Structure 1
């Protein structure tokens, strides 16, 4: 049986059709793609300084990351519909402009709520960059040139993830946290200058699709309700009426969304793609990576600065141990599959690395050496790197080519949405456990009070600010107490992450094995 050509395959007759400005178009799209993951991984390093500089509590500080992730996840599918109506270049241009504007607003933000709003705007633009940037490359390049362009697309995204923490750490330590966002705005300004060349390279024309406004609005609302409930769980109480109401509201809106999509002539998401259990299993792999890798990527820098006493520059360099495998291993995994190694084997190995890496991170202590830190970080990074890219190809191969775009949108939405949820769950769990530790021990320190506010500040990584807020007479002793409490809470949450990863691994293995058995039975 001959394998099907990928949905983006081009007939031989058009393989040599020239396009003007292809090199500049590729460079501009890749620069924009580079900035987005660099922003995601690099912002985490700046969080402690942002918290100290804006005097932000944990919940609004979490939204510096969450606002970007939620907006990115919510609008990945939406931008596909917009591009069908207004054209790919116009949609890409709008996304780049929104990203540049949001980054500039972040750089000049005077308080954390302003910064949260600016990051949300940036996330909306980032969704367009990824969705429409890939569509532009698919249009401009054909045949082997297209394969090379998309290989560069994936590699550049990996480079952005890998060097984001190091660059952000250097900027924060050498200049100020605001420069992290200013650099992004400057890079996207360069991309805007290349838009006329991109317009000449991309053939004119618009699709006949319509934007699914009801479906888009319902999906965005459901994600906002769900993430807000998780973020506020530690603040309002998990059993409070507000949090339970948000969870209930998210469930109801998702149910309405499903009903609307079944009846829509132009649905944002065709729910029929979820009937293949193998496809669903593969889509859950990024969810496991969100809990096992993205949470560590976001919050490990705060642990290293707050508990081990390392500077932001040193922390940024150390984060390369976590992100380097994401750059190297996707190409290695693709090569192994081409030589006959089963993709399912590599995917299960990646899940095992995520669980093992999270468990190994529980061995960290305030006096941990770089040598002891390297092993768990490299293993956790390998868990992300082995499945990155591989999952996408395997999942889309199971879908009708006519629905490949929608399936890719669903996969990326689930990936990015789970990142937002995982980061929110981690932050809320850390705040809850840390709050309990501080409330139990604060009475032993003369003058110390306001346990709840102290825990909120400490959970953001600002131990010095939390000590000052507490009113403790012995600052050094109280800071040591906070460091020990943070260390204990960090380890407790890591055990929870490992448990989530283990459960998801079992579910994924069963779904993929079930698909394999059904495939053999039909042969």
Structure 2
């Protein structure tokens, strides 16, 4: 294939991949902001059913993402991508064709499986068919689709639901999914060198699903269940026991579900750990909204406007982070990003300031949020996939993205729970400041992991 043709077809592939992943980051995640509108349509559904439908897609995605990455390594990344896009279309149709709550729940489950398949498979495709600067550029657009989609989900969903109808969110998603299939229709499966296994590790898959299910339910439902309740303790015990069993089972299998040799790669493990810890900042964003709306009496719209610098700057700085790899190496951006984020959270923690001064501080803080995440996104993702053997990129990228999901969930659970526990014992502003401070500690640990675990020449 000639270079000019390769470049053009490569651009179309990147566009198709971006359109496929925003079916989750922009459209499926829009459900977080349209709960009341959805309940008006599903008049027979209780608030509990609606709340379940909101959280279910992320829960399913987190549980099955690594399994889907493993499958993509074994049966083909392109096949899994096609399947993920088709499931996205089916899930959207199930949600909008009827007002039956059962189909709503099934549709959200299907969307979760779709996202779990698309994320690792599309990253693997990029890593397989692009190299060097072209790969980093493609990963930047992937990150823009993911982080940009998430950032605009609230504004997009609110606009569509208010001025048209919330169902149009998923009608548009279906249309873009069909376009993604068209753009990717000529994409050929690229074979990687892999020792054929006589049988798939179903036992490893089963144990891993138990681990992730118990852990995810504990994280997402722990506050409602009670962190020290019998059910929560049982979930922790199941997670620990199943993890130990998983380790010993996988060590005995020739072709395990997760090859632990991935974690002997210092560049990979350092990047994944930093990724997990930096994503705990989702908890600080949630705490900011809770604090400003309850104590400063801001409306949700006003709180959202203050976070706007985060969305805008992340889109600008993702490409800057990509370009910095060639000039300075990936590690520098990965190390600097936590420091920028830490300063951003410190500015959110200055709750002792007057209302106006505090909000100005938060505007600057969210700008630093965007810069920090933007610098981190492409260098971290590029390091994770480029330092992993090609035949393991699917599961490696899935673990990387799962670290993002779990980091966000842990951040939400721990930071909000600490704030809730402290506000009854002290001044609310002090409770918020301490909760923000805990997040700063987590980010600094992420900085130390990036600084001392990742080798200086992690990515060539």
Give the TM bin, normalised by the shorter chain: 0.7 to 0.9
Between stretches 375-384 and 249-258, larger displacement belongs to 375-384
Do the aligned partners of residues 227 and 429 (structure 1) sit closer, same or farther apart at CA in structure 2, a change above 3 Å counting?
A: farther
CA contact (8 A) 2:205 2:257 kept: yes
Do the aligned partners of residues 205 and 502 (structure 1) sit closer, same or farther apart at CA in structure 2, a change above 3 Å counting?
A: closer
C-alpha displacement of 1:343? 4.5
Do the aligned partners of residues 95 and 336 (structure 1) sit closer, same or farther apart at CA in structure 2, a change above 3 Å counting?
A: closer
RMSD of aligned residue pairs (Cα, Å): 4.2
Equivalent position of 1:199 in the other structure: 185
Equivalent position of 2:371 in the other structure: 382
Deviations 1:473-513 (A, max 9, x none): xxxxxxxxxxxx9x938x63563353244145236516742
CA contact (8 A) 2:76 2:189 kept: no
Matches within 5 A, 1:431-442: 432-433=420-421, 437=424
Counterpart pick for 2:17 among 29, 46, 49: 29
Between stretches 245-254 and 303-312, larger displacement belongs to 303-312
Deviations 1:390-430 (A, max 9, x none): 12223445445554444333222222232233334445555
Counterpart pick for 2:431 among 475, 484, 492: 492
Q: Normalised by the size of structure 1, how large is the TM-score?
A: 0.70
Counterpart pick for 1:415 among 388, 392, 404: 404
Matches within 5 A, 1:382-461: 382-400=371-389, 403-426=392-415, 428-429=417-418, 432-433=420-421, 437=424
The answer on 1:326 being equivalent to 2:314 is: yes
Do the aligned partners of residues 219 and 497 (structure 1) sit closer, same or farther apart at CA in structure 2, a change above 3 Å counting?
A: farther
Matches within 5 A, 1:42-441: 42-46=30-34, 56=47, 61=51, 66-84=55-73, 86-106=75-95, 118-137=107-126, 148-175=137-164, 178-179=166-167, 182-192=168-178, 195=181, 198-203=184-189, 211-292=200-281, 294-298=282-286, 300-301=288-289, 308-340=296-328, 343-363=330-350, 368=356, 371-400=360-389, 403-426=392-415, 428-429=417-418, 432-433=420-421, 437=424
Do the aligned partners of residues 249 and 353 (structure 1) sit closer, same or farther apart at CA in structure 2, a change above 3 Å counting?
A: same
CA contact (8 A) 1:231 1:428 kept: no
Do the aligned partners of residues 241 and 157 (structure 1) sit closer, same or farther apart at CA in structure 2, a change above 3 Å counting?
A: closer
Q: 1:511 and 1:194 mapped to 2: Cα distance?
A: 35
Deviations 1:145-174 (A, max 9, x none): 666544433333343233223212323444
Deviations 1:189-233 (A, max 9, x none): 442355366333325989856643222222222122112223443
CA contact (8 A) 2:385 2:393 kept: yes
Q: 1:513 and 1:80 mapped to 2: Cα distance?
A: 28
Q: 1:347 and 1:142 mapped to 2: Cα distance?
A: 20
| Count of aligned pairs | 449
Q: 2:433 and 2:171 mapped to 1: Cα distance?
A: 35
Larger Cα-atom Rg? 1
C-alpha displacement of 1:108? 7.2
Q: 1:407 and 1:383 mapped to 2: Cα distance?
A: 23
Identify unmatched segments of 5+ residues in structure 1: 1-12, 441-484
Q: 1:205 and 1:275 mapped to 2: Cα distance?
A: 25
CA contact (8 A) 1:327 1:385 kept: yes
Q: 2:7 and 2:320 mapped to 1: Cα distance?
A: 32
CA contact (8 A) 1:357 1:379 kept: yes
CA contact (8 A) 1:284 1:508 kept: no
C-alpha displacement of 1:337? 4.0
Do the aligned partners of residues 51 and 363 (structure 1) sit closer, same or farther apart at CA in structure 2, a change above 3 Å counting?
A: farther
Do the aligned partners of residues 503 and 140 (structure 1) sit closer, same or farther apart at CA in structure 2, a change above 3 Å counting?
A: closer
> Matched residue of 2:256: which SS?
coil
Q: Normalised by the size of structure 2, how large is the TM-score?
A: 0.79
